[in-house]
Amino acid sequence: MQATQIDRMWFQAHPDREYRLRRQTPAEVQQWAFQPGLGYAPWCIIRRADGVMEAFTLKVGETWDDHDLELEQFFDYLRDAA
């Protein structure tokens, strides 16, 4: 099953959510122009409204709050920086 299918299923199971935070799959990471550096993990935020994804890295062991308001703000920041 592809990650996009799993994302759709996740949003169906969480109808109150507008954003999803998850680790990126190895296939998704292979599409990056630059691979994450040693000690960094690939993550992404998916927006329900249009399925747009923004990828980023976090240091291994760090976490991000999984709340729509914070994810929306970070998603918008990533979109503006691109």
pTM above 0.85, yes or no: yes
Where does the pLDDT of residue 81 fall: very low under 50, low under 70, confident under 90, or very high at 90 and above?
A: confident
Q: Residue 9 above 90 pLDDT?
A: yes
Range of the domain at 54: 3-81
Task: Determine whether 15 is exposed, middle or buried from the number of CB atoms within 10 Å of its CB (0-12, 13-18, 19+).
Answer: exposed
Q: Residue 60 above 80 pLDDT?
A: yes
How many independent structural domains does the chain possess?
Answer: 1
Where does the pLDDT of residue 63 fall: very low under 50, low under 70, confident under 90, or very high at 90 and above?
A: confident
Interacting residues of 50 by C-beta distance below 8 A, sequence separation 6+: none
Structural contact between residues 10 and 45, judged by C-beta atoms closer than 8 angstroms: no
Where does the pLDDT of residue 64 fall: very low under 50, low under 70, confident under 90, or very high at 90 and above?
A: confident
The predicted model gives 10-23 an average pLDDT of: 96
